[in-house]
A = this chain, B = another copy of it.
Amino acid sequence: MSDLLRPETTHDLAGDAATLLGVLREAPPLTHCITNAVVTGFTANVLLSLGAAPAMVDIVDEAGMFAGIASGMLINLGTPTPEQRAAAVEAVAGAAASGTPWVLDPVAIGALPVRTALAHQLVGHRPTAIRGNASEILALAGLSVGGRGVDATDSTDSAADAALSLARSTGGVVAVSGPVDLITDGERVLRVSNGHELLTRVTGGGCALGAVMAAFLGAARATTHDALSAVASASLVYTIAAERAAAVSAGPGSFAVALLDALAAVGADDIRAAARVEGGAL
């Protein structure tokens, strides 16, 4: 994709991220998560550390109403029980009715039939953003049967066309997570090079980022920042916190703990100093 970038139109993503982080901490967005059983505690802790207000309301007859109250919402398909599937459908309808921005994370779709069918159904409801690894984005765009599980088996670059295609067909933002995060709204592409390999050694390292995107989308509602800016800001803040955490960690266990500390400590100046972003209009 590098030939498509227009450096002259480079987005001031670090500035956006610094602003939105301040907004988020000033008025914590109620962030509604329907997410998988493996990462639900870690996801809530990531949101609390950052300064957002998590709430996991994943049962039928509550999820839809709550989607209307929430500032932002995540639907993550990691362990989609029948109850969660029904709650997700209800929540997406509730979000649509009230204009709540929402993120779809199509975990491990491709070979696994139940979540794959649900992901395709939900994508038809036009998520504000879609976050996945390259394999998941390729599978959601119909260009691959996906990886063997939750790992990315395709590179971020290989999913760039799929991401653009999905962004254009849904009208939303698509974020491909990997060593470099690629975020696009179908017209602009941003690449965030921050991050650390240890994020792949902690369960929920990617899933929690989807929740952070929902929180930033919630915070952005009080601003003039668009969804591309909010989603890419989430990626930037999260991956900069990961770098800070890795610098003080002895392994995956202490990294996960330090990531929470870093999410609470990272500030506007840190973001401006550490950001490694490329991008602009196609």
Interface residues of A (CB under 8 A from B): 30, 36-42, 44-45, 48-49, 53-59, 61-62, 65-66, 69, 78-83, 108, 111-115, 148-151, 200-204, 249-254, 256-265
What is the bound-complex CA distance between A114 and B86, given in angstroms? 15
Q: How far is the CB of A106 from chain B (nearest CB, A)?
A: 14
**Residue of B45, B82, B111, B113 touching A203 (CB-CB under 8 A):** B45
| A44 and B41 alpha carbons, distance in the complex (Å) | 13
Name the one of B41, B42, B252, B264 contacting A48, with C-beta atoms under 8 angstroms: B252
Residue from A42, A57, A258 with most neighbouring chain B CB atoms (10 Å): A57
Apart from A37-B58, A49-B201, A69-B111, list 20 A-B contacts with CB within 8 A.
A40-B41, A41-B204, A45-B256, A48-B201, A48-B202, A56-B78, A59-B81, A65-B112, A66-B149, A250-B261, A250-B265, A251-B261, A253-B256, A253-B257, A253-B258, A253-B261, A253-B264, A254-B257, A254-B261, A256-B260
Docked pose: A115 CA to B39 CA in angstroms: 23
- A257 CB to closest chain B CB (Å) equals 4
Which residues of B have CB within 8 Å of A256?
45, 253, 257, 260
- Minimal beta-carbon separation of A235 from chain B (angstroms): 20
Task: Flag if B56 contacts A38 (CB, 8 Å).
Answer: yes
B-side contacts of A65, CB under 8 Å: 111-113
Give chain B residues whose Cβ lies under 8 Å from the Cβ of A54: 150, 203
Chain B nearest CB, measured from A81 CB (Å): 5
- Are B112 and A62 interface neighbours, CB within 8 A? yes
User: A238 CB to closest chain B CB, in angstroms?
Assistant: 14
Known contacts A54-B203, A151-B53; A114/B41 CB under 8 A: no
